[in-house]
Amino acid sequence: MSVVIARTPDEIWQYVEDIASHVAWMKDAHAIRFTSDIQKGVGTTFECDTRIGPFHLIDKMEITEWETARVMGVRHDGIVSGRGQFSLTPSGQNQTTFRWAESLSFPWFLGGRLGALVARPILHRVWSGNLERLKAGFENLST
């Protein structure tokens, strides 16, 4: 999924590179605790208390890609595993297309592939809302 934000990739990156700030715009992220000495860049590890409806889990993550103002990739380890990526692409004067991609695997006790299929529209709605909150946060700032 993606959203166009009326800011440059550099301006957006200055905010999203602060991983701890993600709880401000991600409705499903309730707390982030770093488990590495570093808090930016490849190798950063952290735990995120994630809540979607009645489901609560600790998402253990590691930053696997980090290209300033371009890409942030993550590996999910824990109950749900997989990979995710934010990418920022210039799309017009002072505009950026912010893309969010996820590929997740659910364990058998959460329904495995069937659970993932059922969760897909729910997660899409949650993550789309997150992107809209991110966009609104930037666009409501005075320029």
Quote the pLDDT of residue 141. 66
Q: Are strands 55-67 and 81-90 parallel, antiparallel or unpaired?
A: unpaired
Residues 114 and 134 sit within 8 Å (Cβ to Cβ): no
The predicted-structure confidence for 26-83, as pLDDT tens digits, reads as follows 999 999 999 999 999 999 999 999 998 888 899 999 999 999 999 999 999 988 899 9
Kindly report the pTM of this predicted structure: 0.89
Note the CATH number of domain 2-139: 3.30.530.20
Quote the pLDDT of residue 121. 83
Banded model confidence at residue 114, pLDDT cuts 50, 70, 90 = confident
Above 70 in pLDDT, residue 4? yes
Distance CA 34, CA 65 (A): 17
Banded model confidence at residue 122, pLDDT cuts 50, 70, 90 = confident
Handedness of CA 42, 105, 96, 24 (dihedral sign): negative
Above 80 in pLDDT, residue 142? no
The helix-helix angle for 9-16 and 112-139 (nearest 10°) equals 120
Contacts of 67 (CB under 8 A, 6+ apart): none
Q: Which two tokens stand for residue 93?
A: 């004067």
Q: What are the residue ranges spanned by the domains of the chain? A: 2-139
Closest Cα to residue 105, out of 74, 72, 83? Answer: 83
Region 21-26: what's the mean pLDDT? 94
Region 123-142: what's the mean pLDDT? 86
Q: Which two tokens stand for residue 98?
A: 């912010």
Region 117-137: what's the mean pLDDT? 89
* b/e map 92-109, b = 16+ CB within 10 Å: eeeebebebebebebeee
The predicted-structure confidence for 92-107, as pLDDT tens digits, reads as follows 889 999 999 998 888 8
